[in-house]
Amino acid sequence: MSTIAVLGAGTWGSALAHCLAQNGHPVRLWSRFESEIEELKRNRTNRNLPEMVLPDGILLTADPAEALSGAGIVLVVVPSVFVRDTIRFTGAFIEPDAIVACCAKGIEADTRMLLTEVIQDELERQQRPVRAIAALSGPTHAEEVAKDLPTLIVAACEDENAAKEIQGLFDGSCIRPYTNTDLRGVEICGALKNVEALAVGIARGLGYGDNTAAALITRGMEEIRRLGLAMGCQERTFFGLAGIGDLIVTATSRHSRNNRCGMLIGAGKPVKEAVKEVGMVVEGINTLPAAAALCKTYGMEMPIIDAVRAVVQDGARPDEIVRDLMNRRLKQE
C-alpha cells in the first residue's frame, strides 16, 4: 500500500487526507506553515471544516523530507498561484518512482502553462524525474467530502496505469473515481469553469434568475469546449464530470467561492473587497488573465470570459456588460 503525501493543508487537502486515511492508507499531510500544522495538531480539525476530525494516523508535518520520504503518491493541493513555488520547495524530496497528482485548478498567468505542466517544468529544472504526473478534478467541494457525502472525481493521466493506481486509492470511500487519459482537457475544464462560475455569480448578484444562470452555464461550457478542441483536447471530456459536472457545481453551489465572489461583485462590491469578504482563494480571479490570453492566442471568440475580464480587470459595470451580451449579433446555436 502506497504512502500518500498531501502537500497543502487547506480545506481540500485536509478533506482528501481525511478520506484517504479513513480508507486505510498511510497519509502525511504537509503545510509550509509551521503555525498551520501546530493548529492542526492541537485541534485535529481544519478551522474551515470544524465537523471533520483528522484521524490520529495522519502524520502532520511542516518538514518536506518527512512528508515525502518513501511516498509513492504525492497530491499537490495548494492554490494554483503557489503550485510552482511548492514544487520548487519540495521537489528535491519527491521520490523518482512517485506519481504526482495536481489537485489544484488553474493556469499559470505568466507562462499560460496548465498546472501539471508547471509541475513538470519545475521538476525538470531540478532534474527530478517522476513516474507520472496526473490531475484530480471534478465536482468535489471539500465541505461535502469532509462529511463523507457521495462524490465523483476524475483521475486524469496520459499514463492510464498511473490513473488507475490513483483511482484505486479511493475505492470503497465516499469518493467514486473515474479515469481519463485526456489530461489537458480535464485541466482546461477545471481552470476555466471557475471563470464561467464568476459570470453566473455576477448575474445572480445583479438579481437575475435561473433562466440567466442556465444560459450562462450552457454557453459557458460551449466556450470551454471550443477552446479545448482548438488545444487538442477530446470532446467527450467536456460533457463529463471534469467538464459540465464541475461547472454546474461551481456555478450553483453555496460552497463555491467563485459563485459567491461573483455575487458580491454583481451586487456592487469592488473586486478586491469581494475577494476579501470571501476570505479564501478565488481561483477564477487568479485564472482570468491566462484565460483571456488563451482566447487571443487561439483566436477564440469567448464573450462570457471576455465579459468577466472587462468587469474584473477593466472595472466595467456588470449591468452594462450583460446588456452588451444580450445585444450581440443573433446567430445559430
Residues recognised as catalytic? 193
The separation between CA 33 and the C-alpha centre of its own chain, rounded to angstroms, equals 21
Instruction: Confirm if 74 and 98 have CB atoms less than 8 A apart.
Output: yes
Computed over its alpha carbons, how large is the radius of gyration of the chain?
19
**Which sign, positive or negative, has the C-alpha torsion 205, 210, 215, 220?**
positive
188's enclosing H/E stretch is helix 183-205
Instruction: Confirm if 19 and 145 have CB atoms less than 8 A apart.
Output: yes
Amino acid at position 37, single letter:
I
The separation between CA 122 and the C-alpha centre of its own chain, rounded to angstroms, equals 19
Neighbours of 201 (CB within 10 A): 31
Neighbours of 218 (CB within 10 A): 12
